[in-house]
Structure 1
Amino acid sequence: MINELFESRVVLHDFPIFLNGKLYEGSKIKSLSQCGKDCISDDFQDVITYSRCPHGLTHYRKKVKGNNIAITEVVGERYFNDGKVKYKGRSITLSDALAWYSYVERHFDVFDKIVFERASEDFDKFHEFTKWTDQISFYAAKVLTKYGSGLKDSYQNAPSDVKSLYKISSMLKDSLDSTGIYFNPSAAKYGKRRSTDIYRMIHKIVMILEHTEGSAFNKKIRMKGHVQKEYDVYESFKIIPLSFIQNAIKYSSSNEITVRFEELNDYVLISVISIGNILYEDITQLSKRGYRTSWAKDIHHDGKGLGLYVSSVVAKAHSYQIGVRSKPLAYEYEGKSQAENVFFVKVY
């Protein structure tokens, strides 16, 4: 959707730019044949960086709300004296670049606000639908219980059509619950905190995801550790482990994902561990509404940056700490540095 702002000329630029690897021609300064993607260093940061390529041209780089944007094939002030004759009319100073990136960020903010407000209005129309979804989920679970004494036993013994009904109804309800909190963060505190068997809750999530998304991406989910106590949580809490596991399924490069439980005297630490591209961002950045890493945009998954944002809202409602650790490994996968990525939540 961000690309449309440039394609429709809502965001203007006199100079050529690269947006997430795609070239957009400048209105005044045109791109030159000798420069390509190799001339632009791939070290996009939240602050402006710049460099000079072998052709004597300057390339400014900045990450804007998860998008890699480069002002390319211009002459910066640092190299102006020896480039002004050869590349006359291509002067873009650091001050010019700063002003333009600020202009882009303002447009992105306005765009996000408009999209969010319109989507909120549309979602309000589905209020009745969410109530029916709750009923479908309730009766699907009731049908499943006829096939055994517990959830695991019932699920294993149930025919395939009943399993499918239960899985689809559960995922539909979870998806609508997440979307509801996305548009109305106060919904994360809906109802009362209830004493909950956290391990059992997550086991149910794992069981459903492993047979739906997990099988689609050839992933196995292992649960390690135990939880002895019950913890008082809102119904929304399940969104945190759900989004962590879904994120691992989509973006891990290995076939195994681990959900680890470490219970101490007054809390339990729940970690979702997988191998994937190294994460340079912290949890604050990853949890921004609509944020996606640049490499997440390059692959075929249709994520919208919703899950981790909603998880941060739910964690805040519980006064729980969530975080991410990325431990680099000594190898690459498809040209990307790999790491052991751990998303965790500390439950009191």
Structure 2
Amino acid sequence: MVHYYKTMKKIFYILFFSMLGLSSCVSNSDQPDGPVIPDPDPPVSATADDLIGFWETYYYQKDIIYIYPSGEQQIFPGLRLIEYDGFRTEFYLDSKDNEYRFTSYNVIDKVIDEGTYSASSDTVHFNFTYLAGEPKDTTTKQIIRRLDPSKGILKTEDIYPGTIGNTGMKFKVFDMKANRNVDVAPTYTDVSKVMVESHFDELSKAPWDITGCAYYYNSLYQPDETKIMEDALLKTKTSYRFYKNEQGRKYCIVSSLNPKTNEIEDSEPYPIIIVDDVIYRFYTEAETGKTENIYIWVTDWKTKNGSLTFIDKKNERLGNDISVIITTDQYLVQRKE
């Protein structure tokens, strides 16, 4: 059977989220605050050996300071980059050439970055041979804001400049990444989150219906855009069902109304991976054959009127206007069966 969720997915994610290179997901007043990173006391003094291990990102935030031509500055709200939760970097000593190397993986273990590294004082230096999935010869560095190998905690900050097209407008970007050593502290977090894995038995007990949507432009409700979402998701009676097979692998089936037959149809099972409050759902893009993903950010998990509920939240900066944040909410209620 033809499944119409992929069409709706394209309507929703392509129409609403044409992404700027700096855009990502944000935590707003309804979402968890990021981890506080005070100046280290005593100051960090790291060696390459201190970094050895597998480090998983559990929080990644991007802050932007806009610099006007006059030199005046404006700070824009920090955005949490949800899509990097679960990315991992392995630091290790290569015994063959006695070099310190790193390899970074995305959430499905595909190599995205490789190279050598060194560390001195509060800085780690990267020499890339492979960057963002492509061969690359470049260098960069990150400031180490906190390092505690015994507790499995590593927090870094990357500061770099940027411009907006040919406008001459400039900004400064601060990328803050919080990581945990998967062998020392595999579930560590200092962020208030819905830890979905611990709720999986409840999550998989019954299907979840999308019962409402909302679209916001800098926190201002937009009825026209909301209606487009409702037409794509509510009128088609879209729902999710999560389950675990006999081998313990987790999946999600998406159901929706086929407008040609007026019948509810199920998708093929999508493999899922859960990282804290994020559910990644994977599918193969028909045109390219590549594995892609859509994520659900589980916020505001609670029981209401006898049913479990949560909000799947998406936030992006709008095109080239870094002052605008687009927020979309999908309200989900677990079906009573």
Q: Which TM class, normalised by the smaller chain length?
A: under 0.3
Specify which structure has the higher proportion of helix.
Answer: 1
Structure 2 length-normalised TM = 0.26
Give the structure with the larger strand fraction. 2
